[in-house]
Amino acid sequence: MKIESKLAQIGSQSEPVTGAVSFPVVHSTAYRHPRLGQSTGFDYTRTKNPTRAVLEEAIAELEKGDGGFACSSGMAALQTIFALFAQGDHLIVSLDLYGGTYRLLEQIMTRFGVTATYVDTDDIQALDRAYREGSTKAVLIETPTNPLMMITDIAKISAWAKETSLLTIVDNTLLTPFFQRPLELGADIAIHSATKYLGGHNDVLAGLIVTKGKKLSEEMFFLHNSIGAVLGPQDSWLLMRGMKTLALRMERHEYNAVRVAQYLQQHSLVTEVFYPGLGSHPSHVVQSRQSSGNTGILSFKVKDSRLVEPILRYIKLIAFAESLGGVESLMTYPAVQTHADIPQEIRDQVGVDDRLLRFSVGIEHVEDLIADLDQALAKAGEEIEKGELVDE
């Protein structure tokens, strides 16, 4: 069955008693046992909930994994994965990284003796230099990265990791299993901030983990249940409802993003556009090989940092807001929002500077999005030219 059909049918054939096409929300936290030593398969909802179970089975199938685990947020999913590691363990992590992941690693995990080294995870020599024999346990990859859209060759790095028995963990938030399936390329764990594209409507907070292999899946089940940062049944249902339309949405996000990126490339106030769907992207070939499509996220740099504030003030259809992956278009200023927790020297090293804007391109008509960008850029340019910048 094609992935479009699997998505549309999530939960629709899982309720045998009533035949409900939309799987019901089961709020019960406790379940009757038929007799001593017998169970319906459900005992306590933290361990297993009927609604959440349908979601978890769906994401495991979509990612071609063996275990699926729904968490209360993307950060909760990361924390659950990091519980695999112990004092003295070391991780190699993508240099261009979501600020929340960096904060969790540097301000929380270091308290437990787990450390990280940040490198370009597509560079084997950099990985070799970062590797610490006896203590390095995993490679954590964002691909594409947020916000600079750097690409890591998942198959190449997974093969490298297996040579030294390291886990390969891939954040697949920006592409989803509709466009990219890391486990098929050799990764051990795929993770999602399901708040983003999988939910798709900016109305549910969730994280998902998919594991490959029986042993790792059993260990993740233990951690998921023991830590307890599980997704509630109502949010599980909302997430499943969003996922049913994922194929249609991702196709529209990509269509719009390509055209917006092409527009920005030609604009006189824009100096760089970061989008792997463009042929000019340095990793376009790798991206095309390991995925069947492109994200709706792009970033761009304006020629003068003074343009940022008026652009964010003048956009109308596009909202100035954090987050990404919803049907509505959102623009974010990474240096002071999503990546504020990353030290200035690291931001400077990767290029997350005060001229960079990230654009989560929604599913509105692309001509309306370009028109909104055009008028905002024009007005911002006029303010700079006339020296009439508003001092906020």
Across residues 275-287, what is the average pLDDT?
Answer: 96
Rounded to whole angstroms, how far apart are CA atoms 275 and 281?
7
pLDDT at 392: 46
pLDDT at 344: 81
pLDDT at 141: 98
Write out the residue limits of the CATH 3.40.640.10 domain(s) in the chain: 3-243
Across residues 201-208, what is the average pLDDT?
Answer: 98
pLDDT at 38: 92
Q: Which residue has the higher pLDDT, 97 or 376?
A: 376
Distances (CA, A) of 219 to 42, 222, 226, 296: 19, 5, 11, 34
266: Cα separation from own chain's centroid = 28
Across residues 141-151, what is the average pLDDT?
Answer: 96
Residue 388 confidence class, pLDDT cut points 50, 70, 90: low
Q: Are 87 and 123 in contact (CB under 8 A)?
A: no
Q: Are 230 and 46 in contact (CB under 8 A)?
A: yes
**pLDDT above 60 (res 31):** yes
**What CATH architecture applies to the domain 246-385?**
Alpha-Beta Complex (3.90)
| Domain 3-243, CATH | 3.40.640.10
**pLDDT above 80 (res 167):** yes
Which three-class secondary structure state does DSSP give residue 312?
Answer: helix
The reported pTM is 0.96
Question: In DSSP terms, which residues pair with 331 in a beta bridge?
Answer: 320, 359
Pairing of strands 189-193, 330-332: unpaired
CA neighbours closer than 13 Å in the CB half-sphere of residue 182: 32
Across residues 280-309, what is the average pLDDT?
Answer: 97
Across residues 131-148, what is the average pLDDT?
Answer: 97
**pLDDT above 50 (res 47):** yes
Angle between helices 74-82 and 214-227 (to 10 degrees): 120
Rounded to whole angstroms, how far apart are CA atoms 34 and 20?
24
Rounded to whole angstroms, how far apart are CA atoms 92 and 59?
26
Rounded to whole angstroms, how far apart are CA atoms 198 and 10?
12
Spell out the residues 6+ positions from residue 373 whose beta carbon is closer than 8 angstroms to its own: 260, 263, 264, 315, 318
Rounded to whole angstroms, how far apart are CA atoms 178 and 296?
13
pLDDT at 390: 56
Lowest mean pLDDT among 8-17, 186-195, 304-313, 361-370: 8-17
Q: Which residue has the higher pLDDT, 239 or 18?
A: 239
pLDDT at 391: 52
Write out the residue limits of the CATH 3.90.1150.10 domain(s) in the chain: 246-385
Structure letter (DSSP) for residue 230:
B
Per-residue model confidence as pLDDT tens digits over 317-357: 999 999 999 999 999 999 888 777 778 888 888 888 999 99
**Residues recognised as catalytic:** 46, 98, 171, 196
pLDDT averaged over every residue in the chain: 96
Q: Which of 15-24, 111-120, 383-392 has the highest mean pLDDT?
A: 111-120
Q: What is the DSSP string of 107-162?
A: IIGGGGT-EEEEE-TT-HHHHHHH--TTTEEEEEEESS-TTT-----HHHHHHHHH
